Amino acid sequence: GAGVSQSPRYKVAKRGQDVALRCDPISGHVSLFWYQQALGQGPEFLTYFQNEAQLDKSGLPSDRFFAERPEGSVSTLKIQRTQQEDSAVYLCASSLGLADGYTFGSGTRLTVV
């Protein structure tokens, strides 16, 4: 596609629910990142994929967070048993390579009530 597509655009979850956030990167982009952005803050790194391999998950805040990219294209970020502190915008970015910069999606705004 022309850009990075994320769905849903908005998600309201009751505390304790599981959620799944989807990212469609630009076709052919090897690298895929997930970031979490709290209100009024800069984005913070969650995890990184190179093709289907998850090479860095050091930013995932707890074992309730899980990400996958099974075929090296679409990625899903899953949050189990959501908590209020999980409320944030979740941004996905993709890149051809390190020297090429990043293209971000519009994000998914998650609100846990």
Positions touching other proteins (CB under 8 A) are: 4, 6, 31, 33, 35, 40-45, 48, 50, 55-56, 59, 91, 93, 95, 98-99, 101-107, 109
Phi-psi sector, 57: left (phi>0), alpha (psi -120 to 50), beta: alpha
For tokens 């999606």, the residue is 105
| Residue 16 C-beta: closest distance to other proteins, Å | 26
Q: What distances in angstroms separate CA 80 from CA 44, 55, 67, one per listed residue?
A: 19, 21, 11
Is 30 or 74 the residue whose CB approaches other proteins more closely?
A: 30
Is 25 or 105 the residue whose CB approaches other proteins more closely?
A: 105
Is 72 or 80 the residue whose CB approaches other proteins more closely?
A: 72
For tokens 């022309």, the residue is 2
Pairwise CA distance, residues 31 & 72, whole Å:
9
The angle formed by the CA atoms of residues 42, 48 and 51, to the nearest 5 degrees, is 140
Is 19 or 107 the residue whose CB approaches other proteins more closely?
A: 107
| Residue 81 C-beta: closest distance to other proteins, Å | 26
| Residue 55 C-beta: closest distance to other proteins, Å | 6
